[in-house]
C-alpha cells in the first residue's frame, strides 16, 4: 500500500494465534481443527509439551492441547487503514467528509445520499460500511438492520522486564486473550495488550472504560495462566465498540429490500482481518453482480429474516 506520498507503518507481527483447549472445549476444538485442515488452512495441533516449548511460562495442568495457526498475526489497525486510504486515493478515489443525513430512495432503489451540509451525492450503488453505526444508517431508509454496538474492553500492561521471547496471541479457554505490544522506541517497556469479551455486556454506544474489570475479569485468569504476570503493571484501559450480529458473522451483499444498497457490516470484532477479502468481494459484486473469487452466500443479509444463522464456532 505504499505510495509516493505515504508509507504505512503497519507493524505487522506474524506470531500466530494459539487457542488452548481444556476438558470443557476439547471436543469443539478437535472438530474445528479437522475442519480447518480439510479446508486447506495451515493449522497445527500442539500437545502440552509443544505448547510449553513455544510459551514456557504457561500453566498447563488443565490444558489438553492447543490449536496453533502459524500464519496468523496482528497489526496496527490505524496504520493499515491509513495505507488503504492513501492507496485508494492514489488510484483515483475521492474522500468526502460528512455525516449522511438522508438516503435517497426512489422506486425501491437507492439513488444516492445527502450529507449534513446539504450536498447530495448521486449513486447507483451505496455501501453501508458504518461499523457499529450501521443500523443507524440503514434506519434512514426504514430498514431494520440486525447489527448492534457492544462495548469491548482492552487493557495495556507493562511487563516487569523485557520478555526473553515474543508471545503469540494466546487465547485462554476462559476467554481472556493477550498479545505482545512491542517497544516502539529504545527504552520503551515491553508490554502486552489484554482482552476479554463479556458475553452479557449490554448493547449500546458506550465508550466508558470500566477500570474495575481489570481486577475482576482480566487479571485473575491472566495471572492464573501465566503466574509471572503477577508483577505486570496496568498502564491504561480503553473501550471500543464491536458491531455484533445475532450469529457473530457479517452481512455481506445487497439488502433484499433495497436494490443497490449493499452491506459490509457486523464483523463482531474481526473487521480488520476480513477487510481485504470483503473489499475484493464487494468490488466484484458491484462491478459484475456476483462475487466470483470468494463464496459469500453464507453471509447473505437476508438470512435472519428467513430464520437462518451461520455459526462457525470460532469467535472470541
Which phi and psi (to 5°) does residue 220 adopt? -60, -50
Where do the structural domains in the chain lie, given as residue ranges?
A: 96-147+247-299
Whole-model pTM? Answer: 0.92
Rounded Cα distance between 46 and 8, Å, is 35
Give domain 96-147+247-299's CATH number out of 3.40.50.720, 3.30.360.10, 3.50.50.60, 3.30.565.10: 3.50.50.60
> From the CA atom positions of the chain, what is the Rg in Å?
22
Name the maximum alpha-carbon separation found in the chain.
64
pLDDT at 185: 85
Handedness of CA 131, 136, 141, 146 (dihedral sign): positive
pLDDT at 313: 66
User: Tens of pLDDT along the chain (316 residues)?
Assistant: 899 999 989 999 999 999 999 999 999 999 999 999 999 999 999 999 999 999 999 999 999 999 999 999 999 999 999 999 999 999 999 999 999 999 999 999 999 999 999 999 999 999 999 999 999 999 999 999 999 999 999 999 999 999 999 999 999 999 999 999 998 888 889 999 999 999 899 999 999 999 999 999 999 999 999 999 999 999 999 999 999 999 999 999 999 999 999 999 999 888 899 999 999 999 999 999 999 989 999 999 999 999 999 887 665 6
Cell of 295: 463464496
Cβ 237 vs Cβ 155: under 8 Å: yes
pLDDT at 316: 62
Rounded Cα distance between 279 and 89, Å, is 15
H-type alpha helices, the chain = 26-38, 48-54, 77-90, 134-139, 212-213, 219-225, 271-288
Rounded Cα distance between 284 and 262, Å, is 12
Amino acid at each position: 500500500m505504499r505510495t509516493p506520498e505515504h508509507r504505512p507503518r503497519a507493524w505487522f507481527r506474524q506470531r500466530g494465534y494459539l487457542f488452548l483447549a481444556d476438558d470443557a472445549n476439547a471436543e469443539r476444538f478437535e472438530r474445528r481443527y479437522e475442519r480447518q485442515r480439510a479446508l486447506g488452512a495451515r493449522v497445527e495441533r500442539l500437545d502440552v509439551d509443544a505448547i510449553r516449548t513455544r510459551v514456557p511460562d504457561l500453566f498447563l495442568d488443565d490444558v489438553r492441547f492447543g490449536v496453533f495457526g502459524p500464519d496468523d498475526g496482528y497489526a496496527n489497525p490505524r496504520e493499515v487503514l491509513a495505507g488503504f486510504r492513501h492507496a485508494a486515493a492514489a488510484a483515483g478515489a475521492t474522500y468526502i467528509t460528512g455525516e449522511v443525513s438522508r438516503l435517497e430512495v426512489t422506486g425501491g432503489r437507492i439513488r444516492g445520499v445527502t450529507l449534513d451540509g446539504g450536498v447530495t451525492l448521486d449513486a447507483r450503488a451505496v455501501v453501508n460500511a458504518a461499523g457499529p453505526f450501521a443500523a443507524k444508517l440503514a434506519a434512514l431508509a426504514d430498514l431494520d438492520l440486525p447489527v448492534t454496538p457492544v462495548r469491548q474492553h482492552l487493557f495495556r500492561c507493562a511487563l516487569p522486564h523485557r520478555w526473553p521471547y515474543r508471545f503469540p496471541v494466546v487465547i485462554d479457554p476462559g476467554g481472556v486473550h493477550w498479545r505482545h505490544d512491542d517497544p516502539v522506541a529504545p527504552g520503551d517497556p515491553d508490554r502486552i495488550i489484554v482482552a476479554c469479551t463479556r458475553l452479557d455486556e449490554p448493547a449500546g454506544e458506550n465508550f466508558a472504560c470500566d477500570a474495575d474489570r481489570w481486577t475482576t475479569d482480566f487479571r485473575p485468569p491472566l495471572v492464573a495462566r501465566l503466574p509471572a504476570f503477577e508483577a505486570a503493571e496496568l498502564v491504561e484501559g480503553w473501550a471500543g465498540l464491536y458491531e455484533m450480529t445475532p450469529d457473530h458473522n457479517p452481512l455481506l451483499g445487497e439488502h433484499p429490500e433495497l436494490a443497490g444498497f449493499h452491506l459490509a457490516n457486523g464483523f463482531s470484532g474481526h473487521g480488520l482481518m476480513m477487510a481485504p477479502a470483503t473489499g475484493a468481494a464487494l468490488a466484484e459484486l458491484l462491478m459484475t453482480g456476483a462475487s466470483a473469487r470468494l463464496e459469500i452466500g453464507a453471509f447473505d443479509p437476508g438470512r435472519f429474516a428467513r430464520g437462518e444463522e451461520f455459526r462457525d464456532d470460532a469467535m472470541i
